[in-house]
Structure formats: C-alpha cells, structure tokens
Amino acid sequence: MARGVYIHIPFCHQICNYCDFNKVFFKNQPVDEYIEAIGTELKLIQQQEPKAFQQIETIYLGGGTPTSLSASQISRLLELINDIIPTNNLIEFASEANPDELSVDKLQALKAGGINRLSMGVQSFDTDLLKRLGRTHSNEQVYETIENAKAVGLNNINIDLMYGLPGQTMEQWEDSLEKALSLNLPHYSAYSLIVEPKTVFYIQYAKGKLHLPSEDLEAEMYDLLMNEMERNGHHQYEISNFARDGLISTHNKVYWDNDEYIGIGAGAHGYLKGIRYSNIGPIRKYLDSIQNGNRPIFSEHEVTFDEKCEEQMFLGLRKTEGVTFESFKRKLGISMMEKYQTILTKLASDELIIVDHIGVRLSRKGRFVGNEVFQQFLLGE
C-alpha cells in the first residue's frame, strides 16, 4: 500500500545550471491544462486502484518549481488534489519553493490548500555562487519569504544548501552555513554537487571549464556540515538531512524506507504494487495520453526479489539509524545476515558500517563514502 504521493510540476521561470529534472520554461506552456490533467490522472489511478490513496501519509509537490504557478493556479491544483486524496492519515503536505517567487498571496494559497511544510531551494548565501548556479534570488528575499511564511502559519520550513560547487571555498561554505543556521529553522538539507548529463554544468565540465573543489576539500565541507548541524541541535537522520526532533521529512523517509509511493505528472516516477514506473516526460505527449483516458505510463519494471533486497540496504543505509534485522526479515522473509554476511563482514572490517544486535548502519567514516558502500549491495558486486 502506498504511503506517499509525489506530484511533478515541470515549469520554471529560470533553469538552473545543475538541474537534470524534467522541466520547461514557464512562458507559453499549457499550464492550466496541465493542472487539470493532474486531477484527471489522480482520478484514473483511483478508478484502477480504488484503495490506492487510502493510507497516504505524505503528499509532495516537486519540480520544476511548484511556486512558479500563480496563486489561483496553486489554489486550483490543491483543490483537485484534496478532492481525491483523503487527509485522515496525512502527516505532511509539502511543496518545493523558490524564495523569489513566494509572494504573500501564493503563501496564503498554499496554506489554505493544506500545505504544512515548505522546502526552499536556497543552495548558497554567496551572491557569486548563486549566479554560477543560475539562481535568481537574493539573500534578502530568503529572509523576507521565511518571515512571510511564518506570518501565514507555515512554520515547518526546510532550506536546501549545496557544497562542492565550482570555485567554492571553505570560507564561502562556512559563511553559508552560518547564515542558514542563524535562521533557526526546524530542518536543513545539504547536498554535494553532482554534475549530471544534459545540464549546463555537464557541458562546461566536458569542455574543461568547470573547476570543482578537490575531493579532500569536499570531505572537509561535509565534516563541517555534520559538526555545525549537531552543535546547533539538528540531528543528522540521513546522509544529507538534519532536523530537530520530530521534524524529519516524512516524504523522503518513504523513499529511504523503500516503501511504495504514487508518482503523478509528466516525467514523475512511482512505485506501486511491486512495480516501479515512470510517466511520459514531454508535456504535450503527457497531456495527449490523459485526454485519451489513459494513464501516461512510459515504462514499467517489476522489481525482482534480489532488487528488493538491494534497495532495502542501499536506501535504508542512507538513514543514520540504518536497516534493522527485524525490518529486513519482515519485509523480505529472509535474514539480512543470510543474504549479505560476506559483504557486511568486509564493510565492518573496513570500519564503514556498524553492526550490532539491532541492525546495520553507516559509521561516521562510512558517511563520507556512502556511494561506495551502497554499490557493494548491487547485483554482480
């Protein structure tokens, strides 16, 4: 049974240089038609799977940029969502947001439509780095937007930060962390830059024009991040996420728990009834499928038993609590040690994981090389 719903809004007023998500420039796009199609796709799933939305704990609006929509468009989108998805089990109703797009009327529309968590893409408090990233907001807009959000009753706020950026120094990272923590927010996410194909940064990197910090400097930045978050009372509950007690991201935890979720919108991904699927990406083709009364499925993959085991490990190990022996056995019907004893023994001897009577988790050393640890559980390793 699905625990979460992800709804993709692919429109942006500005395309960031590092972003590889399915997105288009807002101008001249069929935005209103797309919003109505979201409502239709929700109805199509409900018709095919009448119980699909009965246990939903979290709804997440991602993008693209959900707050690229006008206040009236936001209200209509949330109306369509609330018409289909029951709220009796809902813990979190979140939206991504850009600081320079969150006018007071949009914040009011989000709040009125049931949104109770905002995740703002701040990335850096350094003006030069923001320009390199293709971001258009200012620090003043971040501060003002947070104050306005709190004024309308939206207090559960996360901001995203990035490190390992082109030309970024330790001093710039220290300054961004200091400014971010001075906001005293309940949640922070911080990610190292990954240069993805089909992005502006990828083209620059291929031409030798993108100069990234060394691996050692990036590791120092991550070490500083963990230390400063802990010092300021934000518990690290996942490799890149930090929160005060009780204020973790429910939506992201659905992914890390390897539980099922429903993906809605152009290019969205979902995991339902043991099948991972992706929707059609091009907006016009997505709309055509919806208008023809069909779910806009582009691809489907039935997850094998071995893949389920792998996913349980490399997703679960992202959490600082790791994977318990009990949850692995309950979900997969097999002992974790029976399945992965050789791998676990080696990783433990390398001091990359900690194995105790409860389960397995990354050591602090292991957090610096998480991807290398996760790869050990993939087929063929």
Residue 126 Cα distances to 92, 137, 139, angstroms: 31, 11, 8
Q: Among 1.10.10.920, 1.20.1330.10, 1.25.40.10, 3.50.50.60, name the CATH number for the domain at 305-375.
A: 1.10.10.920
Domains 4-256 and 305-375 belong to one CATH topology: no
- Average the pLDDT over 249-275 and give the result: 96
Residue 211 has pLDDT above 90, yes or no: no
Least confident of 21-30, 156-165, 318-327, 331-340: 21-30
28 vs 351, higher pLDDT? 351
Identify the sign of the CA torsion 37, 38, 41, 43: negative
Task: Convert the pLDDT of each residue in 331-370 to its tens digit.
Answer: 999 999 999 999 999 999 999 999 999 999 999 999 999 9
Average confidence (pLDDT) over 279-300? 97
Whether the CB-CB separation of 29 and 11 falls below 8 Å is answered with: yes
Q: Is the pLDDT of residue 26 over 90?
A: no
Q: Domain residue spans in the chain?
A: 4-256, 305-375
- Compute the average pLDDT of residues 15-41: 85
pLDDT at 290: 98
pLDDT attached to residue 205: 74
Q: Residue 13 above 80 pLDDT?
A: no
pLDDT at 380: 44
Report the distance separating Cα 242 and Cα 198, nearest Å.
Answer: 30
- pLDDT at residue 242, as a whole number: 98
pLDDT above 70 coverage of the chain, percent: 98
Contact 125, 139 (CB under 8 A): yes
Specify the pLDDT at position 80: 98
What does CATH list as the number for 4-256?
A: 3.80.30.20
